[in-house]
Amino acid sequence: MSDAAAPRTVLHVDMDAFFVSVELLRRPELAGREVIVGHRGGRSVVLSASYECRRAGVRSAMPMTTAVRLAPRAVVLEPTMPAYRHYSARMMAIFRDITPVVEQVSVDEAFLDVTGSVRRLGGPLEIGALIRRRIRDELGLPASVGIARNKFVAKVASTRAKPDGLLRIAPEDTVAFLHTLPVAALWGVGAKTGEVLARAGISTVADLARTPASSLERMLGTQGTHLRALAWGMDERPVEPIREEKSIGAEETFARDSADTGHLRRELLRLAHRVAERLRAAGKETQTVALKLRYADFTTISRSRRLPQPSNSAVEIARAAEGLLDALGVRQQAVRLIGIRAEQLVPEGAGYQLTFDRSDGNWRQAEETMDKIRARFPAGAVRPASLLPPGSDRAAPQPRDG
């Protein structure tokens, strides 16, 4: 049978409590404990929670204050973003060894179309087991894999396989499997849509599938038609290997509102380094830098500035953002949130011009060296001296946590 005639086989690979799992690699003594990854502070949210914490009701995106109340004995760890990006890149490299048709959805999950890999690597279950084994052996991390004929069902299957499991839904079993699930399992059914459906007596996927399309359209408009198709296992979207990022950004919500210009400038430099590192990792440069500010009264403004030439240097990005901050002048309201976004992205080097100013090139070289150090030692804290905590001994090496 040719690949064109073979039934489509899609895998959804989702890492289990990814940020926590990466942190446990260097803190193995915390295995089996309640662990939360996130910034401490009244406005911070949970980025990741161990399954021990989840049994206590802690969930991602939950306010940290709520999470600590639910799991008072939990160990709260600050996130180590360079480490997460490092392991994510290695994970995606494993996927691309299996098939070139990989659609990365986020830092810790992806869809794989392995239809063309079956002849070389074996059946769908063998391929799923191979991926989980390689991630465990090469990275030391757990992963759950869902296998189905399309993206939607594969995603549902991986959710049902958690934690650290493998589940295949054969094409002929798709509808029967879906019809055992609550209606909230369908993509697009959130709290508001769920309330509308509940008022109509629809609580399961089977209920929705048996509801006439005209009734669903009256209740939900075109979304009703889409949900009914999913309820019958229909999802023809292809796995798309290339997802071009239109912009790259980072932002921070302060634990306490700040009107300190020095503090805001330091935060801009920190965010600029995060954005610039992601740009270089993606092989991109930005032509426009945007500044976002949210004040204490929740008023949000954004301003942007085009760079003289495309760049992925944190120094240049920070310089532009600081110029935008200065141009806004003094405002009575303190700042609640600050962010930087790189827009109008172009391939690295596409618009580069030679310059007699050596400083920009020196900064670029220093930042690329920092990237290499972080890639080799992802848990290390390599940063500009100006971002060290006040009172730090800048001449002394920083101790590693672990």
Which neighbouring-strand residues pair with 374? none
The pairing of beta strand 48-49 with beta strand 247-258: unpaired
Classify residue 47 by its DSSP letter.
Answer: S
* Calculated CA dihedral for residues 111, 115, 119, 122, nearest 10 degrees: 40
- Which residues of the chain register pLDDT less than 70? 1-6, 42, 243-244, 330, 349-402
CATH architecture group of domain 179-231? Orthogonal Bundle (1.10)
Q: Is 14 annotated as a binding residue?
A: yes
Q: Give dist(CA 179, CA 166) in Å, integer.
A: 20
Q: Domain ranges for the chain, please list them.
A: 1-164, 179-231, 247-387
| pLDDT (0 to 100) of residue 254 | 84
- Class of domain 247-387 as given by CATH: alpha beta
**Each residue of 88-103: pLDDT tens digit?**
999 999 999 999 999 9
pLDDT at position 56, please?
Answer: 95
pLDDT (tens digit per residue) in 15-74: 999 999 999 999 999 999 999 999 887 678 899 999 999 999 999 989 999 999 999 999
Q: How far is CA 359 from CA 294, 334, 364, in A?
A: 33, 34, 9
Q: Give the per-residue pLDDT at 154.
A: 97
108 assigned binding-site residue? yes
DSSP state of 378: T
- The answer for residues whose C-beta is within 8 angstroms of residue 16's C-beta and 6 or more apart is 51, 141, 142, 143, 144, 162, 163, 164
CATH architecture of 1-164: 2-Layer Sandwich (3.30)
What residues act catalytically?
109
